[in-house]
Amino acid sequence: MQFVISGELRTGEKVEPMTQYEDTGCVHNLLSVSVLAFFCVAAAGKMVHAQVDADSKVLHAIPGLSPATSTGYDFYSVYNAKAADSTNANELRPGEAAGLNLTGAGVRIGVWDAGDVRASHENFRTGAVTIVDSVGFDNHATHVAGTIIGDGTPVAAARGMASDGLGASGPTIRSRDFHDDMTEMASDVGVLDLSNHSYGLIRGWEGNGVERFTECIAGNREWWYGNYDVSSTEDHSFGSYSNISVAVDEVIHDGNNLLLSVWSAGNDRGDVYADVGETDQWVGYFNSVPVGAVCQETGVVDEAGFYVVPNEGTTVVPLADGDGGTGYDTIPNGGQTAKNVVVVGAMLDYSTDPHDGTTMALAAFSSFGGTDDGRLAPHVVGNGFLLMSSTAATDSDYAPYSGTSMSSPNVTGTAALLLEHWDNQGLTNPTAAAQKGLLVHTATDVTKGPANPGPDYVTGYGMVNGRAAADFITEALAKPVEARKEHFHQETLSDGATHSKTFRATGGPVKATLVWTDPPGTARTATDDRTSVLVNDLDLRIESTTTFFPWSLDVNNPANSAVRTGKNNVDNIEQVAIDNLYAGTTFTVIVDHDTALINPQEFSLLVSGALVPEPAGGVLAIVASVALLFLGRPWCRCAAS
């Protein structure tokens, strides 16, 4: 949707989608959402956002934003600060009470996006951004980069997650456009620690236009990007493990298993045919000429292609994206359905501490999982609501954007701070699996609450909690082994082997998280193919007074809560959570496998709520082996030669 708002529009008035209110020239391209749409109001040289109820079309103030000076308008202030607070990245920075003084210094981040980051923008310190592809400045790319590393000088509201706020220290960004991204990721593996991908394949209902039908129709038609001859009810590509997914897994598994690759979940939930052009026609892809076709896209001679068709008979419009409007199964099948990435959904802003488990709401546009084979996606969420950041029109241009495109860099920037902290605590090269495991293990469950704990296809394991993650690193790596209540192990499991570690409960909840970088699988093309794409299927359990199994979800009933009743045979993230174990209770964490491993499989294991048994010699030896394991690794965070 798009709204252009006039200088006379005020709170409480009605607006209509697709209507042009032209006197301000303030244009904001919107996500197609079922509950809220966002638009901008320009007056007195200021740009602000409000929201419109998608049903009543009544303009409302945005909750949680502070009114500013108004001259006949309702103005609001928007900040990246709330995004930093959402993931607790703000608590890790210089001058904060945690005393960690993290800026992300030395961390190298690849940003693939629609175009170039405007490297000369005042929000970036000199030399922080390197342009590789030189395709032209892009607002979206510049906004994403600002959310990750923006200095906040001179506009403090636009400070990114990872910087010192003074323009002196922080990560660096390598800026590329997303064309040929897989080849470029493979070529850049030796010069990157993190990568951010705030884009995805167009799937399901998406926008409108006539650009491919200029010879035969006038007016707008809504587009559906599924293949109608494969499925007339859903875009079969949602959630599938595609050739792109395979390529991403190859880059991380075969090229650089230290690269944490972060992808936005997508904004497709609830997109639906609305007949905005009032033609009762739509555009879809067909393998052959459909009955009643009005015309085929311009310049295409083969029968397979996009056609304008009537909403009747054999070409009735498909359902809303997300299993007929439920929202589930709306993850696009690019990097988002790979096994070895972090997929990020979006939450709205909050009124109090977002980590109290009750105050955050999911953004209406954020895509739900799972993948077709039942894997969890998204894995975590970040703040994707009205993040103020740099844009590309000038070196001093800023704007607030919403979307999973914004929640992804919110998480990437937080991960950059944590990577510096790993380094500071002596582990200079944590694997992608270790970093992913840390984000998941320490995330805050923000939707289900204590009555329905565990992951879900809506928010994954919850909101990233940078402070909890940093505390875990400190506890697991810096404290004397016998005093640690948090434990990190990096091990390798050979075919036929079993790995076990024994602990004593400290009293209260116990949690163990297992993550591994799985070899690339085989792409799938069938609609909702439930066959697991795991290659090496590891299993996690805890043995104590009983056997405790990991969380698992039912992709055929995606709204159901997670259960802990048996093995998880689809995810390469497994977590066992025990609500309470009495202090001193001995338990054993076991990692093994049922099916053959095609190669020795490295894995990361994180454990909380436990002390090592006495004496601690065995675990001391394990910790020493972890340190030795990383010596001589081919990749390091060092200056490019």
**Residue 396 φ/ψ, nearest 5 degrees:** -130, 25
Of residues 307, 319, 331, the one with CA closest to residue 245: 331
Residue 154: cis peptide before it, omega within 30 degrees of 0: yes
Residue 558: cis peptide before it, omega within 30 degrees of 0: no
Distance (Å) of CA 122 to CA 112, 172, 392: 21, 15, 11
- The model's pLDDT over 477-506, given as tens digits with 9 standing for 90+, comes to 999 999 999 999 999 999 999 999 999 999
- The model's pLDDT over 515-570, given as tens digits with 9 standing for 90+, comes to 999 999 999 999 999 999 999 999 999 999 999 999 999 999 999 999 999 999 99
Identify the pLDDT of residue 192. Answer: 98
Asked whether residue 391 carries a pLDDT value surpassing 50, the answer given is yes
Comparing 307 with 447, which gets the higher pLDDT? 307
Task: Tokens for 319, please give them.
Answer: 């359902």
CA 527 to mean position of chain CA atoms: 24
Q: How far apart are the first and last CA of the chain?
A: 47
Task: Tokens for 438, please give them.
Answer: 């840390």
Task: Tokens for 49, please give them.
Answer: 């956002």
CA Rg, the chain, in Å? 25
Distance, CA of 489 to CA of 84 (rounded, Å) = 29
Of residues 517, 502, 523, the one with CA closest to residue 584: 502
Identify the pLDDT of residue 216. Answer: 75
Amino acid at 507: G
Phi-psi region at 404: left, alpha or beta (left = phi > 0; alpha = psi -120 to 50) = alpha
Asked whether residue 351 carries a pLDDT value surpassing 70, the answer given is no
Identify the pLDDT of residue 81. Answer: 80
CA torsion 81-85-87-92 (nearest 10°) is: 90
Distance, CA of 498 to CA of 501 (rounded, Å) = 10
Task: Tokens for 129, please give them.
Answer: 């951004």
Of residues 564, 302, 567, the one with CA closest to residue 453: 564
Of residues 557, 565, 573, the one with CA closest to residue 606: 573
Identify the pLDDT of residue 450. Answer: 59
Comparing 494 with 275, which gets the higher pLDDT? 494
Asked whether residue 50 carries a pLDDT value surpassing 50, the answer given is no
- The model's pLDDT over 278-297, given as tens digits with 9 standing for 90+, comes to 889 999 999 999 999 988 88
Of residues 157, 191, 152, the one with CA closest to residue 169: 152
Identify the pLDDT of residue 362. Answer: 87
Asked whether residue 17 carries a pLDDT value surpassing 50, the answer given is no
Identify the pLDDT of residue 132. Answer: 98
Identify the pLDDT of residue 639. Answer: 35
Please, which pLDDT band fits residue 638 given cuts at 50, 70 and 90? very low
Residue that is written with structure tokens 């991908």 in the block: 197
Of residues 272, 380, 267, 367, the one with CA closest to residue 317: 272
CA 259 to mean position of chain CA atoms: 15
Distance, CA of 251 to CA of 274 (rounded, Å) = 40
CB 102 within 8 A of CB 93: yes
Helix (H) or strand (E) holding 32: none
Distance (Å) of CA 44 to CA 72, 73, 245: 10, 10, 47
Cα torsion 190, 192, 193, 196: sign: negative
Domain boundaries, the chain: 1-76, 82-202+246-267+328-422, 205-236+274-315
- Mean pLDDT of the residues in the chain: 83
Neighbours of 462 (CB within 10 A): 26
Identify the pLDDT of residue 97. Answer: 85
Distance, CA of 638 to CA of 511 (rounded, Å) = 34
Comparing 439 with 165, which gets the higher pLDDT? 439
Identify the pLDDT of residue 564. Answer: 97
Distance, CA of 343 to CA of 339 (rounded, Å) = 10
CB 79 within 8 A of CB 35: no
Amino acid at 355: H
Distance, CA of 454 to CA of 571 (rounded, Å) = 14
Q: String of b and e for 533-564 (b: at least 16 CB within 10 Å)?
A: bbbbbbbbbbebeeebbbbbbebeebeeebeb
Distance (Å) of CA 413 to CA 93, 145, 383: 12, 9, 12
Distance (Å) of CA 615 to CA 5, 483, 490, 503: 70, 12, 21, 11
Architecture of domain 82-202+246-267+328-422: 3-Layer(aba) Sandwich (3.40)
Q: Provide mean pLDDT across the span 359-383.
A: 93
Phi-psi region at 438: left, alpha or beta (left = phi > 0; alpha = psi -120 to 50) = alpha
Helix (H) or strand (E) holding 255: none
Of residues 506, 486, 500, 490, the one with CA closest to residue 442: 486
Distance, CA of 188 to CA of 177 (rounded, Å) = 13
Lowest mean pLDDT among 32-46, 137-151, 413-427: 32-46
Lowest mean pLDDT among 162-171, 250-259, 404-413: 162-171
Distance, CA of 588 to CA of 350 (rounded, Å) = 39
Distance, CA of 478 to CA of 472 (rounded, Å) = 10
Stated pTM of the model: 0.85
Asked whether residue 345 carries a pLDDT value surpassing 60, the answer given is yes
Residue that is written with structure tokens 């909702």 in the block: 528
Distance, CA of 222 to CA of 210 (rounded, Å) = 9
Distance, CA of 320 to CA of 81 (rounded, Å) = 35
Pairing of strands 221-227, 547-548: unpaired
Asked whether residue 625 carries a pLDDT value surpassing 60, the answer given is no
CA 13 to mean position of chain CA atoms: 35
Residue that is written with structure tokens 């020239």 in the block: 25
Comparing 370 with 79, which gets the higher pLDDT? 370
Distance (Å) of CA 535 to CA 45, 497, 570, 571, 599: 56, 17, 10, 11, 10
